[in-house]
Amino acid sequence: MTTVVPFSSLTTFRVGGEPAEYAEATDVRGLLALLDDGWRRFDEWMVVGGGSNLLVGSDGFPGIAIAVRTRGIEVISGQDEPDVPEGAARLRVQAGESWDRVVAFAVEEGLSGIEALSGIPGSSGAAPIQNIGAYGAEIGDVLSSVELYDRESGTLERVSARDLGLGYRTSVLKRHGGAPAEREAVVVSIDLDLRRSLDGLGAPIAYPQLAKALGVDLGERVALADVRASVLALRGSKGMVLDPDDHDSWSAGSFFTNPIVSERFAADLPADAPRWPVGEVDEPVTVLPLDGSAGFDLPRPASVAEEERRVKLSAAWLIENAGIGRGFALPGSRAAISSKHTLALTNQGNASGEDVAALARYVQARVQSEFGVLLLPEPVVVGLDI
Protein backbone atom coordinates (compact mmCIF):
# COMPACT_ATOMS: atom_id res chain seq x y z
CA MET A 1 0.00 0.00 0.00
CA THR A 2 1.31 3.47 -0.92
CA THR A 3 2.37 5.60 2.04
CA VAL A 4 0.45 8.88 2.21
CA VAL A 5 2.66 11.76 3.35
CA PRO A 6 1.49 15.33 2.69
CA PHE A 7 3.96 18.09 1.89
CA SER A 8 2.82 19.80 5.09
CA SER A 9 4.84 17.08 6.84
CA LEU A 10 7.81 17.35 4.49
CA THR A 11 8.44 21.08 4.29
CA THR A 12 9.46 23.81 6.71
CA PHE A 13 6.48 25.87 5.55
CA ARG A 14 4.23 23.07 6.87
CA VAL A 15 1.78 23.52 4.00
CA GLY A 16 0.84 21.48 0.96
CA GLY A 17 -1.28 18.56 -0.15
CA GLU A 18 -0.15 15.05 -1.06
CA PRO A 19 1.93 13.74 -3.95
CA ALA A 20 0.38 11.00 -6.09
CA GLU A 21 3.04 8.70 -4.65
CA TYR A 22 5.68 9.03 -1.96
CA ALA A 23 8.82 7.00 -1.26
CA GLU A 24 11.98 7.32 0.85
CA ALA A 25 15.54 6.35 -0.04
CA THR A 26 18.01 5.63 2.77
CA ASP A 27 20.93 4.44 0.63
CA VAL A 28 22.29 5.20 -2.83
CA ARG A 29 21.24 1.90 -4.37
CA GLY A 30 17.69 2.41 -3.14
CA LEU A 31 17.67 6.00 -4.40
CA LEU A 32 18.71 5.00 -7.91
CA ALA A 33 16.12 2.23 -8.01
CA LEU A 34 13.35 4.60 -6.92
CA LEU A 35 14.40 7.16 -9.52
CA ASP A 36 14.44 4.60 -12.32
CA ASP A 37 11.00 3.34 -11.31
CA GLY A 38 9.59 6.85 -10.83
CA TRP A 39 10.91 8.08 -14.17
CA ARG A 40 9.37 5.05 -15.89
CA ARG A 41 5.92 5.40 -14.33
CA PHE A 42 5.39 9.14 -13.86
CA ASP A 43 5.57 12.15 -16.15
CA GLU A 44 6.26 14.40 -13.15
CA TRP A 45 8.67 13.72 -10.32
CA MET A 46 10.59 15.52 -7.61
CA VAL A 47 13.10 14.76 -4.92
CA VAL A 48 12.66 16.22 -1.45
CA GLY A 49 15.47 16.87 1.00
CA GLY A 50 14.84 18.97 4.09
CA GLY A 51 11.90 20.70 2.41
CA SER A 52 13.22 24.13 3.40
CA ASN A 53 13.03 25.63 -0.07
CA LEU A 54 9.71 24.24 -1.26
CA LEU A 55 6.20 25.72 -1.31
CA VAL A 56 3.38 23.41 -2.47
CA GLY A 57 -0.31 24.13 -2.98
CA SER A 58 -3.21 22.29 -1.37
CA ASP A 59 -3.75 20.14 -4.46
CA GLY A 60 -0.38 18.52 -3.89
CA PHE A 61 1.67 17.09 -6.73
CA PRO A 62 0.51 14.77 -9.55
CA GLY A 63 3.73 12.76 -9.66
CA ILE A 64 6.08 10.88 -7.36
CA ALA A 65 7.96 12.59 -4.53
CA ILE A 66 11.13 10.79 -3.44
CA ALA A 67 12.58 11.81 -0.09
CA VAL A 68 16.39 11.53 -0.02
CA ARG A 69 17.45 10.28 3.40
CA THR A 70 20.97 9.07 2.62
CA ARG A 71 23.64 9.84 5.22
CA GLY A 72 27.41 10.05 5.45
CA ILE A 73 30.36 12.47 5.61
CA GLU A 74 33.76 11.22 4.44
CA VAL A 75 37.08 13.08 4.67
CA ILE A 76 39.21 12.55 1.56
CA SER A 77 42.89 13.44 1.58
CA GLY A 78 45.28 14.26 -1.24
CA GLN A 79 46.64 10.72 -1.01
CA ASP A 80 43.19 9.39 -1.89
CA GLU A 81 42.53 11.88 -4.70
CA PRO A 82 45.52 13.80 -6.14
CA ASP A 83 43.44 16.81 -7.20
CA VAL A 84 42.67 17.81 -3.60
CA PRO A 85 44.29 21.26 -3.23
CA GLU A 86 47.33 21.51 -0.97
CA GLY A 87 46.33 22.48 2.56
CA ALA A 88 42.73 21.41 1.99
CA ALA A 89 40.55 18.52 3.02
CA ARG A 90 37.80 17.26 0.77
CA LEU A 91 34.48 16.35 2.34
CA ARG A 92 32.36 13.89 0.38
CA VAL A 93 28.82 14.30 1.68
CA GLN A 94 25.77 12.19 0.88
CA ALA A 95 22.84 14.18 -0.47
CA GLY A 96 20.45 13.42 2.38
CA GLU A 97 22.82 14.63 5.09
CA SER A 98 21.64 17.67 7.03
CA TRP A 99 23.54 20.71 5.78
CA ASP A 100 23.98 22.18 9.24
CA ARG A 101 25.39 18.87 10.49
CA VAL A 102 28.02 19.16 7.74
CA VAL A 103 28.92 22.68 8.93
CA ALA A 104 29.14 21.49 12.56
CA PHE A 105 31.35 18.58 11.47
CA ALA A 106 33.68 20.90 9.55
CA VAL A 107 34.02 23.31 12.48
CA GLU A 108 34.75 20.44 14.88
CA GLU A 109 37.41 19.11 12.49
CA GLY A 110 39.06 22.53 12.12
CA LEU A 111 38.04 22.95 8.48
CA SER A 112 37.26 26.45 7.24
CA GLY A 113 35.09 27.74 4.42
CA ILE A 114 31.46 27.05 5.37
CA GLU A 115 31.24 28.30 8.97
CA ALA A 116 29.31 31.39 7.81
CA LEU A 117 26.69 29.04 6.31
CA SER A 118 25.71 27.70 9.74
CA GLY A 119 22.05 27.22 10.53
CA ILE A 120 20.80 27.05 6.94
CA PRO A 121 18.11 24.35 6.98
CA GLY A 122 17.79 21.64 4.37
CA SER A 123 19.83 18.81 2.95
CA SER A 124 23.31 18.85 1.48
CA GLY A 125 22.13 17.65 -1.91
CA ALA A 126 19.92 20.71 -2.27
CA ALA A 127 22.72 23.12 -1.33
CA PRO A 128 24.39 23.35 -4.78
CA ILE A 129 21.03 23.39 -6.59
CA GLN A 130 20.20 26.62 -4.79
CA ASN A 131 23.83 27.72 -4.45
CA ILE A 132 23.05 28.56 -0.85
CA GLY A 133 24.74 31.58 0.66
CA ALA A 134 24.75 33.84 3.69
CA TYR A 135 26.95 36.39 5.45
CA GLY A 136 29.36 36.83 2.55
CA ALA A 137 29.83 33.14 1.68
CA GLU A 138 28.31 30.74 -0.86
CA ILE A 139 28.65 27.00 -1.25
CA GLY A 140 29.97 27.74 -4.74
CA ASP A 141 33.10 29.14 -3.06
CA VAL A 142 34.11 25.67 -1.83
CA LEU A 143 32.16 23.24 -4.02
CA SER A 144 34.50 21.00 -6.02
CA SER A 145 32.01 18.70 -7.73
CA VAL A 146 28.72 16.87 -7.43
CA GLU A 147 27.81 13.28 -8.19
CA LEU A 148 24.72 13.23 -10.39
CA TYR A 149 22.36 10.51 -11.51
CA ASP A 150 21.35 11.61 -14.98
CA ARG A 151 17.90 10.75 -16.27
CA GLU A 152 18.81 10.74 -19.96
CA SER A 153 21.88 8.53 -19.66
CA GLY A 154 20.79 6.52 -16.61
CA THR A 155 24.32 6.74 -15.24
CA LEU A 156 26.16 8.17 -12.26
CA GLU A 157 28.71 10.83 -13.12
CA ARG A 158 30.82 13.30 -11.22
CA VAL A 159 30.40 16.82 -12.55
CA SER A 160 32.69 19.75 -11.80
CA ALA A 161 31.19 22.73 -10.01
CA ARG A 162 32.31 24.81 -13.01
CA ASP A 163 29.72 23.02 -15.16
CA LEU A 164 26.73 23.64 -12.89
CA GLY A 165 26.01 27.21 -13.97
CA LEU A 166 26.17 28.40 -10.37
CA GLY A 167 24.72 31.87 -9.91
CA TYR A 168 22.93 33.93 -7.31
CA ARG A 169 20.66 31.32 -5.65
CA THR A 170 20.50 29.20 -8.77
CA SER A 171 22.13 26.51 -10.91
CA VAL A 172 21.29 24.44 -13.99
CA LEU A 173 19.70 21.91 -11.61
CA LYS A 174 17.10 24.27 -10.14
CA ARG A 175 13.47 24.37 -11.22
CA HIS A 176 12.12 27.87 -11.86
CA GLY A 177 8.46 28.78 -11.46
CA GLY A 178 7.40 25.15 -11.80
CA ALA A 179 9.37 24.71 -15.03
CA PRO A 180 11.80 21.78 -15.30
CA ALA A 181 15.47 22.33 -14.55
CA GLU A 182 17.89 22.81 -17.45
CA ARG A 183 19.30 19.39 -16.65
CA GLU A 184 17.20 16.49 -15.36
CA ALA A 185 19.52 14.91 -12.83
CA VAL A 186 19.57 14.20 -9.12
CA VAL A 187 22.40 15.07 -6.74
CA VAL A 188 23.66 11.91 -5.03
CA SER A 189 26.65 13.40 -3.21
CA ILE A 190 28.72 16.58 -3.12
CA ASP A 191 32.45 17.27 -2.68
CA LEU A 192 33.59 20.31 -0.71
CA ASP A 193 37.22 21.49 -0.60
CA LEU A 194 37.77 23.15 2.77
CA ARG A 195 40.90 24.77 4.16
CA ARG A 196 42.66 23.07 7.07
CA SER A 197 42.80 25.76 9.73
CA LEU A 198 46.01 25.16 11.64
CA ASP A 199 45.37 28.16 13.90
CA GLY A 200 41.68 27.40 14.49
CA LEU A 201 40.57 30.57 12.72
CA GLY A 202 37.96 30.79 9.99
CA ALA A 203 37.90 32.57 6.65
CA PRO A 204 38.15 36.39 6.65
CA ILE A 205 34.86 37.94 7.76
CA ALA A 206 33.17 39.31 4.63
CA TYR A 207 29.84 40.67 5.86
CA PRO A 208 29.39 43.84 7.93
CA GLN A 209 26.55 42.53 10.13
CA LEU A 210 28.58 39.48 11.08
CA ALA A 211 31.70 41.57 11.69
CA LYS A 212 29.70 43.86 13.97
CA ALA A 213 28.25 40.91 15.89
CA LEU A 214 31.75 39.53 16.41
CA GLY A 215 33.22 42.92 17.30
CA VAL A 216 35.86 42.83 14.55
CA ASP A 217 36.64 44.63 11.31
CA LEU A 218 35.84 43.27 7.88
CA GLY A 219 38.60 40.96 6.69
CA GLU A 220 39.64 39.82 10.16
CA ARG A 221 39.71 36.13 11.00
CA VAL A 222 37.93 34.73 14.05
CA ALA A 223 37.83 31.31 15.71
CA LEU A 224 35.68 28.88 13.73
CA ALA A 225 33.46 28.05 16.70
CA ASP A 226 32.88 31.74 17.44
CA VAL A 227 31.84 32.44 13.85
CA ARG A 228 29.41 29.53 13.90
CA ALA A 229 27.92 30.59 17.24
CA SER A 230 27.50 34.19 16.07
CA VAL A 231 25.85 33.17 12.79
CA LEU A 232 23.44 30.86 14.61
CA ALA A 233 22.55 33.69 16.99
CA LEU A 234 21.98 36.14 14.13
CA ARG A 235 19.84 33.67 12.21
CA GLY A 236 17.90 32.78 15.34
CA SER A 237 17.11 36.43 16.00
CA LYS A 238 15.52 36.57 12.53
CA GLY A 239 13.52 33.35 12.92
CA MET A 240 15.83 31.67 10.40
CA VAL A 241 16.71 28.68 12.59
CA LEU A 242 14.03 26.00 12.66
CA ASP A 243 12.05 25.92 15.90
CA PRO A 244 8.80 23.91 16.07
CA ASP A 245 7.47 26.31 18.71
CA ASP A 246 8.23 29.49 16.74
CA HIS A 247 5.82 30.16 13.86
CA ASP A 248 8.23 32.76 12.50
CA SER A 249 10.50 29.85 11.56
CA TRP A 250 7.70 28.05 9.67
CA SER A 251 8.96 29.47 6.40
CA ALA A 252 11.44 29.01 3.59
CA GLY A 253 13.79 31.61 5.02
CA SER A 254 14.22 34.57 2.71
CA PHE A 255 11.29 34.27 0.31
CA PHE A 256 12.43 36.73 -2.37
CA THR A 257 15.83 37.02 -3.99
CA ASN A 258 17.58 40.37 -3.95
CA PRO A 259 16.81 41.80 -7.41
CA ILE A 260 19.61 42.59 -9.82
CA VAL A 261 18.96 45.64 -12.00
CA SER A 262 20.90 47.97 -14.26
CA GLU A 263 22.97 50.65 -12.60
CA ARG A 264 21.04 53.20 -14.67
CA PHE A 265 17.71 51.95 -13.26
CA ALA A 266 19.05 51.93 -9.69
CA ALA A 267 20.10 55.56 -9.99
CA ASP A 268 16.42 56.56 -9.93
CA LEU A 269 15.78 54.83 -6.58
CA PRO A 270 15.99 56.77 -3.30
CA ALA A 271 19.57 57.53 -2.28
CA ASP A 272 19.29 55.43 0.88
CA ALA A 273 18.25 52.27 -1.02
CA PRO A 274 21.09 49.78 -0.45
CA ARG A 275 22.81 48.47 -3.56
CA TRP A 276 25.87 46.39 -4.30
CA PRO A 277 27.92 46.11 -7.50
CA VAL A 278 27.59 42.88 -9.46
CA GLY A 279 30.10 41.40 -11.88
CA GLU A 280 33.76 42.01 -12.57
CA VAL A 281 35.08 45.07 -10.75
CA ASP A 282 38.33 46.96 -10.60
CA GLU A 283 38.94 46.02 -6.98
CA PRO A 284 37.38 43.57 -4.49
CA VAL A 285 34.17 44.82 -2.90
CA THR A 286 32.34 43.25 0.03
CA VAL A 287 29.28 45.41 0.76
CA LEU A 288 28.81 49.03 -0.22
CA PRO A 289 25.38 50.57 0.43
CA LEU A 290 25.03 53.76 -1.56
CA ASP A 291 24.44 56.82 0.60
CA GLY A 292 24.28 60.06 -1.35
CA SER A 293 25.53 62.08 1.63
CA ALA A 294 28.58 59.89 2.17
CA GLY A 295 30.11 60.63 -1.21
CA PHE A 296 30.94 57.01 -2.07
CA ASP A 297 30.97 55.89 -5.70
CA LEU A 298 30.17 52.34 -6.75
CA PRO A 299 33.27 50.57 -8.12
CA ARG A 300 33.04 50.46 -11.91
CA PRO A 301 33.12 47.09 -13.70
CA ALA A 302 36.36 46.77 -15.58
CA SER A 303 35.03 45.11 -18.72
CA VAL A 304 31.30 45.83 -18.86
CA ALA A 305 29.72 48.57 -20.95
CA GLU A 306 28.08 51.32 -18.93
CA GLU A 307 24.54 50.45 -20.06
CA GLU A 308 25.06 46.82 -18.96
CA ARG A 309 26.42 47.44 -15.47
CA ARG A 310 24.36 45.73 -12.80
CA VAL A 311 23.75 46.28 -9.10
CA LYS A 312 21.97 44.12 -6.55
CA LEU A 313 19.23 45.70 -4.47
CA SER A 314 17.93 44.79 -1.02
CA ALA A 315 14.57 43.01 -1.28
CA ALA A 316 13.98 43.59 2.43
CA TRP A 317 14.48 47.35 2.03
CA LEU A 318 12.13 47.45 -0.96
CA ILE A 319 9.42 45.59 0.97
CA GLU A 320 9.70 47.75 4.07
CA ASN A 321 9.73 50.97 2.06
CA ALA A 322 6.72 49.85 0.06
CA GLY A 323 4.82 50.06 3.35
CA ILE A 324 4.84 46.39 4.37
CA GLY A 325 6.12 45.90 7.89
CA ARG A 326 6.99 42.96 10.07
CA GLY A 327 3.98 40.92 11.12
CA PHE A 328 1.82 42.14 8.23
CA ALA A 329 -0.94 39.74 7.12
CA LEU A 330 -3.81 39.97 4.68
CA PRO A 331 -7.25 40.01 6.35
CA GLY A 332 -8.34 36.53 7.40
CA SER A 333 -5.06 34.89 6.37
CA ARG A 334 -2.81 32.74 8.53
CA ALA A 335 0.22 33.63 6.44
CA ALA A 336 2.20 36.67 7.55
CA ILE A 337 5.44 38.54 7.16
CA SER A 338 7.75 37.38 9.93
CA SER A 339 7.71 39.53 13.06
CA LYS A 340 11.52 39.28 13.05
CA HIS A 341 12.56 39.62 9.41
CA THR A 342 10.71 41.36 6.57
CA LEU A 343 12.05 39.03 3.90
CA ALA A 344 10.47 35.89 5.40
CA LEU A 345 6.89 34.86 4.63
CA THR A 346 5.61 32.57 7.36
CA ASN A 347 2.87 30.12 8.28
CA GLN A 348 1.44 31.41 11.54
CA GLY A 349 -0.49 28.17 12.08
CA ASN A 350 -2.95 26.39 9.77
CA ALA A 351 -2.04 28.52 6.77
CA SER A 352 -2.32 27.03 3.30
CA GLY A 353 0.04 27.29 0.39
CA GLU A 354 -2.55 29.50 -1.23
CA ASP A 355 -2.39 31.87 1.77
CA VAL A 356 1.38 32.18 1.37
CA ALA A 357 1.10 32.67 -2.38
CA ALA A 358 -1.53 35.40 -1.97
CA LEU A 359 0.71 37.24 0.47
CA ALA A 360 3.67 36.87 -1.91
CA ARG A 361 1.66 38.31 -4.80
CA TYR A 362 0.55 41.25 -2.63
CA VAL A 363 4.16 41.99 -1.67
CA GLN A 364 5.21 41.78 -5.32
CA ALA A 365 2.43 44.16 -6.37
CA ARG A 366 3.26 46.74 -3.70
CA VAL A 367 6.97 46.74 -4.47
CA GLN A 368 6.40 46.88 -8.21
CA SER A 369 3.92 49.72 -7.86
CA GLU A 370 6.24 51.73 -5.60
CA PHE A 371 9.62 51.06 -7.21
CA GLY A 372 9.03 49.32 -10.56
CA VAL A 373 10.87 46.20 -9.38
CA LEU A 374 9.37 42.71 -9.64
CA LEU A 375 10.54 40.52 -6.76
CA LEU A 376 11.10 36.87 -7.68
CA PRO A 377 10.52 34.00 -5.25
CA GLU A 378 13.55 32.08 -4.03
CA PRO A 379 11.80 28.77 -3.15
CA VAL A 380 10.64 26.21 -5.69
CA VAL A 381 6.89 26.78 -6.05
CA VAL A 382 4.62 23.88 -7.05
CA GLY A 383 0.94 24.14 -7.90
CA LEU A 384 0.70 27.82 -7.08
CA ASP A 385 0.77 31.05 -9.05
CA ILE A 386 3.39 33.57 -7.94
* Strand 260-262 relative to strand 111-112, pairing: unpaired
The question of whether 169 is a catalytic residue gets the answer yes
Q: How far apart are CA 368 and CA 347, in angstroms?
A: 24
* Strand 380-382 relative to strand 54-56, pairing: parallel
**Residue type present at position 178:** G
The question of whether 108 is a catalytic residue gets the answer no
- Exposed/middle/buried for residue 154 (C-beta within 10 Å: 0-12, 13-18, 19+): exposed
* Strand 61-68 relative to strand 45-48, pairing: parallel
User: How many Cβ atoms sit within 10 Å of the Cβ of residue 73?
Assistant: 16
Out of 115, 147, 263, 378, the active site residue is 378
Out of 52, 123, 254, 352, the active site residue is 254
Out of 90, 169, 235, 309, the active site residue is 169
Nearest to 47 by CA among 157, 212, 215, 175: 175
For residue 103, what are the contacts with CB-CB under 8 A and spacing of at least 6? 114, 115, 117, 118, 119, 120, 228
The 8-class DSSP code of residue 135 comes to: T
* Strand 54-56 relative to strand 111-112, pairing: unpaired
Q: Which phi and psi (to 5°) does residue 302 adopt?
A: -80, -25
The torsion of the CA quartet 56, 59, 63, 64, rounded to 10 degrees, works out to 60
Q: How far apart are CA 359 and CA 47, in angstroms?
A: 26
The question of whether 14 is a catalytic residue gets the answer no
- Exposed/middle/buried for residue 358 (C-beta within 10 Å: 0-12, 13-18, 19+): middle
Q: How far apart are CA 100 and CA 115, in angstroms?
A: 9
The 8-class DSSP code of residue 151 comes to: T
Q: Which are the catalytic amino acids?
A: 169, 254, 378
